[in-house]
Structure 1
Amino acid sequence: MLNFLKRIGSGNMKHYSDAWIEEWCQENGWTDLFIERCNSYWAFPPGAVMPEPIPMQVLRVIKAQKGLTCEERFWSITAVIATMIAAFVTYWLRCPIPLVAAFAFNAVTVAQLEVEDAY
């Protein structure tokens, strides 16, 4: 839980659970998984002497099968709740600024949810 809270403030959103990647490595014979940086996974393919990055196609398939990580769910739910609160405050104060702030927050959240190809 502490690592999750540290990552929230870091600005880098994890799009893949480490357990998902480890499971794929076990199923496909890849060994010695390590995480170079956020969302960049390396391991030794079967019979290889040098580690290689987990292919992006594989990461996309894993993401399609498993869905959102806990961190992505947290930010999605937070965005929805912030929008509902902002809509109420906008109506109550008769001022559009809270809704504009919620829109800006949601724009940043959606941008963070976008999975970028590392290579």
Structure 2
Amino acid sequence: MQVSILGQNIKMIREKKYINAYQLSKKAHVSASTISEIESGIRQNLNSSTVMKIANALDVSVDSLYKTENNLEYVVEDIQDCFHMILESEVLKLDDEELSDTEKKQLQVSFQASLDVIRLNRENTKKRRNKK
């Protein structure tokens, strides 16, 4: 089983900071099995809040958990996770101007509203199909 960049980096950063998996799990408020599964490659998909908890516990940015030696690589399958990673970027610009915290919050609220509409539309479509 291939370990994701995320799993490799969590383990590497944890070990560099002389933190064992159990200590990280307690500090991040996630289970020890979650840390083990991420680092071993058993668990490939994480929600954004878990990634953020682990990044905070390791005192690193979310971006640093996805870095490769040559470049940044994002291994996400969930659009919400991807958007959270974008918002966690140290410098986020629009038209060569850095976004303020207020502007980031506006993006976050708008994005969440869009996701809510998509979910509602999907739910309504499923209900219509089930009535047939």
Q: Could you tell me the TM-score, scaled by structure 2's length?
A: 0.28
Q: Could you tell me the TM-score, scaled by structure 1's length?
A: 0.30
Instruction: Choose 1 or 2 for highest CA Rg.
Output: 1
